[in-house]
């Protein structure tokens, strides 16, 4: 019952000079954002939030998880999601909520009743601030997850270099998940294009350790089982020396220093001389 009274008192305090308080709040928050968000936008956001907050207190009392607060929670979720997407820091995002505390700072003239109401506001703002940060980090995680997935797709194009020759330029870290995607794409492209030569280019792979090597070997063996020949290209000097020191054996797999060498080799294997191929290209121009 006492809490109910405090909520009512708080509603009164917050609505008495509503416009002045919102104005101060917006001003305080816009300082921390240093003009990276338009004043108009911030104004709209915070005004909406403020009236929802007062309404929430009036209807739902102090329980911010309750039905009466759904509007506030929805607005806060939207606010923190937007901030996360626009690249604001968690501090900048949460400060918008925490700045609410500054509006009703009690002084020596504050009555006992108002003081209790202020403490109530404090408790609420803390809870809402944490809610905001949580939503913020959830959004960030979603963004990171989506980016990781996009990278997985991005980094594994299979390109057709010539009739019967396809290539996969690998870039970045090669883990089990990516190898699986690469292998599937390569094998499917071999079938779709009827190619007999595949080139795996590792120029963009920063380090070849035993796991990467094992993944490469598996891909080559799988391609062989489908009747295609695989060449690994893009072996830079430092990678070559590291592979030797590690003791990895590539066996009878053809390896080349550059993609151009690998293409020449592949053309010869399918019975097209590289010179004739070059002439075809010139003729087509």
22-53: string of b/e by CB count within 10 Å (b at 16+)? Answer: beebbebbbebbeeebeeeebeebbbebbbbb
Give the residue among 106, 133, 130 at the shortest CA–CA distance from 118: 106
User: Cα–Cα distance between 253 and 250 in angstroms, integer?
Assistant: 6
Q: Is 147 in the site for another protein (CB under 8 A)?
A: no
The interaxial angle of helices 39-60 and 18-33, nearest 10 deg, is 130
Give the residue among 260, 270, 154, 247 at the shortest CA–CA distance from 201: 260
Near another protein by CB under 8 A, which window of 89-97, 106-114, 204-212, 257-265? 204-212
Q: Which of 39, 211, 268, 281 binds another protein (CB under 8 A)?
A: 211
In the shown chain, the binding pattern of residues 159 to 178 toward another protein, with x for contact by CB under 8 A and - for none, equals --------------x-x---
The nearest distance, CB 53 to another protein, in angstroms, is: 39
Sheet with 254-255, side-by-side order of all strands: 159-162, 165-171, 197-204, 229-233, 254-255
Near another protein by CB under 8 A, which window of 109-117, 123-131, 149-157, 208-216? 208-216
The nearest distance, CB 206 to another protein, in angstroms, is: 7
Q: Is 150 in the site for another protein (CB under 8 A)?
A: no
Write out the binding residues for another protein, residues 215-274 only, by CB under 8 A.
237-239, 241-242, 245-248
In the shown chain, the binding pattern of residues 83 to 122 toward another protein, with x for contact by CB under 8 A and - for none, equals ----------------------------------------
Identity of the residue, 157 or 206, whose beta carbon is nearer to another protein in the bound complex: 206
Q: Sign of the C-alpha dihedral, residues 267, 271, 277, 279?
A: positive
Q: What is the largest CA-CA distance in the chain?
A: 96
Q: Is 141 in the site for another protein (CB under 8 A)?
A: no
Q: Which of 206, 224, 226, 260 binds another protein (CB under 8 A)?
A: 206
Q: Which of 17, 210, 273, 280 binds another protein (CB under 8 A)?
A: 210
DSSP structural state of residue 175: -
Give the residue among 178, 168, 186 at the shortest CA–CA distance from 148: 178
The DSSP H or E segment spanning 255 is: strand 254-255
Identity of the residue, 247 or 283, whose beta carbon is nearer to another protein in the bound complex: 247
How many residues belong to the site for another protein (CB under 8 A)? 19
The nearest distance, CB 248 to another protein, in angstroms, is: 6
Q: Sign of the C-alpha dihedral, residues 105, 108, 114, 120?
A: positive
Q: Which residues bind another protein (CB under 8 A)?
A: 173, 175, 206-211, 213-214, 237-239, 241-242, 245-248
């Amino acid at each position: 019952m006492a809490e109910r009274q405090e909520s009512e008192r708080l509603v009164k305090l917050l609505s008495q000079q509503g416009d002045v308080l919102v104005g101060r709040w917006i001003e305080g928050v816009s300082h921390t954002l240093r003009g990276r968000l338009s004043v108009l936008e911030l104004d709209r956001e915070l005004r909406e939030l403020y009236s929802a907050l007062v309404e929430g207190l009036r209807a739902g009392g102090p329980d911010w998880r309750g039905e009466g607060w759904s509007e506030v929670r929805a607005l806060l979720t939207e606010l923190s999601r937007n901030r996360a997407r626009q690249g604001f820091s968690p501090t900048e995002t949460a400060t918008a909520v925490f700045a609410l505390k500054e509006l009703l700072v009690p002084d020596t003239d504050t009555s006992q009743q108002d003081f209790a109401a202020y403490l109530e506001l404090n408790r609420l703002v803390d809870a809402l601030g944490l809610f905001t940060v949580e939503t913020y980090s959830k959004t960030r995680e979603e963004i990171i997850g989506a980016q990781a997935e996009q990278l997985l797709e991005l980094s594994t194009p299979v390109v057709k270099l010539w009739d019967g020759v396809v290539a996969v330029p690998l870039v970045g870290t090669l883990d089990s998940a990516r190898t699986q995607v690469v292998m599937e794409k390569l094998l499917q492209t071999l079938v779709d294009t009827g190619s007999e030569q595949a080139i795996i280019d590792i120029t963009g792979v920063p380090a070849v350790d035993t796991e990467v090597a094992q993944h490469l070997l598996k891909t080559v063996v799988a391609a062989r089982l489908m009747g295609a020949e695989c060449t690994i290209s893009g072996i830079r000097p430092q990678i070559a020396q590291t592979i030797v020191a590690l003791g990895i054996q590539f066996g009878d797999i053809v390896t080349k220093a550059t993609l151009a060498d690998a293409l020449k080799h592949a053309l010869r294997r399918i019975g097209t001389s590289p010179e004739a191929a070059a002439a075809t290209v010139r003729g087509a121009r």
